[in-house]
Structure 1
Amino acid sequence: MSSNTDRRSFLALGAGALAAPALASPALAWAAGDPIASMIVVNALGGLENPNDPTKRDRPFLDARALADARASGQTAVNVTIGYVSGPDEPFEYSVREVAQWDKLVRDHPKDLLKVMSAADILRAKAEGKTGLIYGFQNAAMMGKDASRVDIFADLGVKIIQLTYNPANQLGDGSMAPENRGITPFGREVIERLNANRVMVDLSHSGQQTCLEAARFSKRPISINHTGCRAVTDLPRNKTDEELRLVAEKGGFVGIYFMPFLNPTGHARAADVVAHIDHAVNICGEDHVGIGTDGGTSQIDDLKAYESRLAEEIAKRRASGISATGERPDTYPFVVDLRGPDQFRKLAGLLRERGYSTTRIEKILGQNFVRHAQEIWG
Structure 2
Amino acid sequence: MTTTPLIINALGQLDNPNAPRSAEAAAELNPSSEQLTVDARTLADARASGLTAVNVTLGYTMGDMPPYEHTLHEIAVWDRIVRDNEADLLKVRTVADVHRAHREGRTGVIYGFQNAVAVGEDTGRVATFAELGVRVVQLTYNQANHIGDGSMAPDNRGLTDFGRRLVDALNDHHLMVDLSHSGENTCLDAARSSRVPVSVNHTGCRALADLPRNKTDEELRLVASRGGFVGIYFMPFLNTSGHACAADVVEHIDHAVNVCGEDHVGIGTDGTVTTIDDLDAYRDRLAEHVELRRAAGVGAAGERGDTLPFVLDLRGVEQFRELIRLLECRGYRSARIEKIMGRNFLDYAERVWAPETSG
1:61 is displaced (CA, Å) by 3.5
Give the TM-score of the pair, scaled to structure 2: 0.95
1:238-296 deviations in whole A, cap 9, x for unaligned?
00000000000000000000000000100000000000000000000000000000001
Instruction: Name the aligned partner's letter for residue 215 of structure 2.
Output: K
Q: Note if 1:272 corresponds to 2:238.
A: no
- Structure-2 residue corresponding to 1:41: 7
Counterpart among 129, 141, 146 of residue 165 in structure 1: 141
**Aligned partners of 2:111 and 2:136 also within 8 Å:** yes
1:95 is displaced (CA, Å) by 0.2
- Structure-2 residue corresponding to 1:72: 48
- The 1-side partners of 2:324 and 2:37 are apart by 30
Instruction: Name the aligned partner's letter for residue 48 of structure 1.
Output: L
- The 2-side partners of 1:188 and 1:308 are apart by 43
Q: Note if 1:54 corresponds to 2:54.
A: no
1:120 is displaced (CA, Å) by 1.1
Q: Please list, as runs of the form range in 1=range in 2, the aligned pairs for 1:219-298 lying within 5 A after superposition.
A: 219-298=195-274
- Specify the SS of the correspondent of 1:314: helix
- Structure-2 residue corresponding to 1:3: none
1:322 is displaced (CA, Å) by 0.5
1:192 is displaced (CA, Å) by 0.6
Counterpart among 289, 295, 307 of residue 319 in structure 1: 295
- The 2-side partners of 1:110 and 1:146 are apart by 33
1:319 is displaced (CA, Å) by 1.5
**Aligned partners of 2:82 and 2:91 also within 8 Å:** yes
- The 2-side partners of 1:95 and 1:71 are apart by 28
- The 1-side partners of 2:243 and 2:83 are apart by 39
- The 2-side partners of 1:328 and 1:276 are apart by 21
1:311 is displaced (CA, Å) by 1.3
Aligned identity (percent) is 62
- Structure-1 residue corresponding to 2:313: 337
1:219 is displaced (CA, Å) by 0.2
Q: Which runs of 5+ in 2 are unaligned?
A: 26-31
Aligned-residue CA RMSD in angstroms? Answer: 0.9
- Structure-2 residue corresponding to 1:194: 170
Give the paired residue count: 344
1:302 is displaced (CA, Å) by 1.0
- The 2-side partners of 1:322 and 1:163 are apart by 15
- Structure-2 residue corresponding to 1:102: 78
- The 2-side partners of 1:369 and 1:199 are apart by 14
Instruction: Name the aligned partner's letter for residue 45 of structure 1.
Output: L
**Aligned partners of 2:139 and 2:148 also within 8 Å:** yes
- Structure-1 residue corresponding to 2:28: none
Counterpart among 187, 190, 195 of residue 211 in structure 1: 187
Q: Which runs of 5+ in 1 are unaligned?
A: 1-25, 30-35
Q: Please list, as runs of the form range in 1=range in 2, the aligned pairs for 1:96-175 lying within 5 A after superposition.
A: 96-175=72-151
Instruction: Name the aligned partner's letter for residue 51 of structure 1.
Output: P
1:21-72 deviations in whole A, cap 9, x for unaligned?
xxxxx5x43xxxxxx1xx1100000001111112257614411111111111
- The 2-side partners of 1:61 and 1:374 are apart by 31
210-219 or 309-318, larger mean C-alpha shift? 309-318
**Aligned partners of 2:17 and 2:37 also within 8 Å:** no
**Aligned partners of 2:16 and 2:37 also within 8 Å:** no
Q: Note if 1:90 corresponds to 2:66.
A: yes
Give the TM-score of the pair, scaled to structure 1: 0.90
**Aligned partners of 1:220 and 1:376 also within 8 Å:** yes
**Aligned partners of 2:290 and 2:304 also within 8 Å:** yes
